[in-house]
A and B are shown apart, each in its own frame.
Chain A
Amino acid sequence: MKPDNKTISPPLWILLELTHKCPLECTYCYNQLDFANTKDSMTKDDWFRVMEEARAMGAVQLGISGGEPLLNKDLLEIVKKANELKFYTNLITSGVGADISIVPKLKEAGLKTVQLGIQSSDEHTTTLITNNQNAFKDKMAFAKACKENGLQLIINTCITRQNIHQIGDIIEMAERLGANYLEIANIQYYGWALENINALLPTREQLAEAKAITNHYRENRKDMKVFFVVPDYFATRPKACMNGWGSTFLTINPSGVALPCNTANTLPLNFPNVKEYSVEAIWNDSEAFNYFRGDSWMKEPCRTCNEKEKDFGGCRCQAYALTKDMHEADPVCDKSGFHHVVTSKVEESITSDKQPLYRNKINSMNIIANRLARSCK
């Protein structure tokens, strides 16, 4: 089962999820529905040790994310430490949750890049998506402060039915804010996004139009790089999720649980905790990290498919969420016997008038309680 250790290459990308608390309640958030159960139990020294161990293995990119990383009081020290270790440090933030005076301090601590989540070019839509009335103002101020302090600014915009018609305005706004890059991401349907899919999924026509507007911008101006992440629900092949399980990425969640991707703990596997094992032991020897390495775990149609080197059978979390078997092909693939699950979700969402559920603690606790009630029956 376990592939030869020599074939395991070290992680290049480490993502620290400092907390799952967040002042915003984005309906498209990929965080786990039961995030209210995740305790913030990593101390500053625990984070330091994880960074040292990962760096010693050869990791070079560090993402600091969450929830909202600005809520962690040790953020500046963590950035400073990361910089001393010679990581390339990326802060992935909503821009809400700390006083704006933190921006120059982040720069001074050695931060390289801010990836700022922006939902809309107007205040009303931002509030609609995030359930927070100050979000828009705070984000604008944060973006401005990043540029004034010489930080590289990447704007991340998650596209849903609520904002897809604003693509043109969002591109122009990102340019006015001086963004170095704009990433327009058609969201991945995990966590809260999957729960809310009927309220979020745009139509194929809306997507085509958004793509056309993006291309028009790209052809006419090149000052800002614009990436357009295509949504896999409208595709017939899955994405090569995380570049292969346990090949490149390592996420540590707020409790210290080590994961091959941000949402892997939705799978029925036992993930090791960095408070019990070294990063190296976790990466090389843990059962969970070895579980989907190589292709011996695959079932048909992946097992004999000539494209398995290309997409590794797609995303394990998506396979499990939609088929209840984590060894299945990602049902986005039209060779999968479960592909109809994806197409029927697309169909269903078109006519649905479901209201999205905000990602907050109370909703999370209700979901946890309902699950318990169901499993007791």
Chain B
Amino acid sequence: MQREKFLVVNSHFQLQYEEKQSCYVLLYPEGMVQLSFSAGEIMSLCDGKNSCDSIITALVEKFSNQAIESDVIEFLDEAMSRNWIIYHEAR
């Protein structure tokens, strides 16, 4: 994980909050994953304007919890290996 690079959801996927399911879901061809609360919080910050570092800062502040850093990195690594998110290359 390159911690300072901006992250964005892969455009072939679609991330959205679903009222009916009370969670974020990630849609892909013929399928869907329901994201856990923390996964949803992290993914929704992958908007092309945040990096791994800034996501950690934002979430530490939001939940006043210092201990989340390694969880965030672990999740982002996993999300990237599944192609859910990619680095947002400057245009």
A10 to B20, CA, bound (A): 10
Q: 0/1 per residue, A88-112, Cβ < 8 Å to B?
A: 1010000000000000000000001
Chain A CB within 8 A of B16 CB: yes
Most buried by A among B20, B29, B32: B29
- Tell which of B12, B18, B20, B27 touches A61, judged by Cβ atoms closer than 8 Å: B27
CB distance from B29 to the nearest CB of A (A): 5
Question: For residue A185, which residues in chain B have a CB less than 8 angstroms away from its CB?
Answer: none
Chain B CB within 8 A of A214 CB: no
User: Are B29 and A60 neighbours in the complex by a CB distance under 8 Å?
Assistant: no
Chain B CB within 8 A of A125 CB: no
Chain A CB within 8 A of B81 CB: no
User: Are B20 and A58 neighbours in the complex by a CB distance under 8 Å?
Assistant: yes
Chain B CB within 8 A of A33 CB: no
A152 to B12, CA, bound (A): 6
CB distance from A253 to the nearest CB of B (A): 20
Question: For residue B12, which residues in chain A have a CB less than 8 angstroms away from its CB?
Answer: 112-113, 152, 180
Interface residues on B, range: 10 to 19
Of all chain B residues, which has the CB nearest A58?
Answer: B20
Chain B CB within 8 A of A337 CB: no
User: Are B27 and A90 neighbours in the complex by a CB distance under 8 Å?
Assistant: no
- Tell which of A57, A61, A150 touches B30, judged by Cβ atoms closer than 8 Å: A61
User: Are A181 and B29 neighbours in the complex by a CB distance under 8 Å?
Assistant: yes
A152 to B32, CA, bound (A): 16
Chain A CB within 8 A of B2 CB: no
Chain A CB within 8 A of B75 CB: no
If A61-B30, A90-B30, A180-B12 are given as contacts, then 7 extra A-B residue pairs at C-beta distance below 8 Å, sorted by A number, are: A12-B32, A58-B18, A60-B27, A61-B32, A88-B27, A88-B28, A113-B12
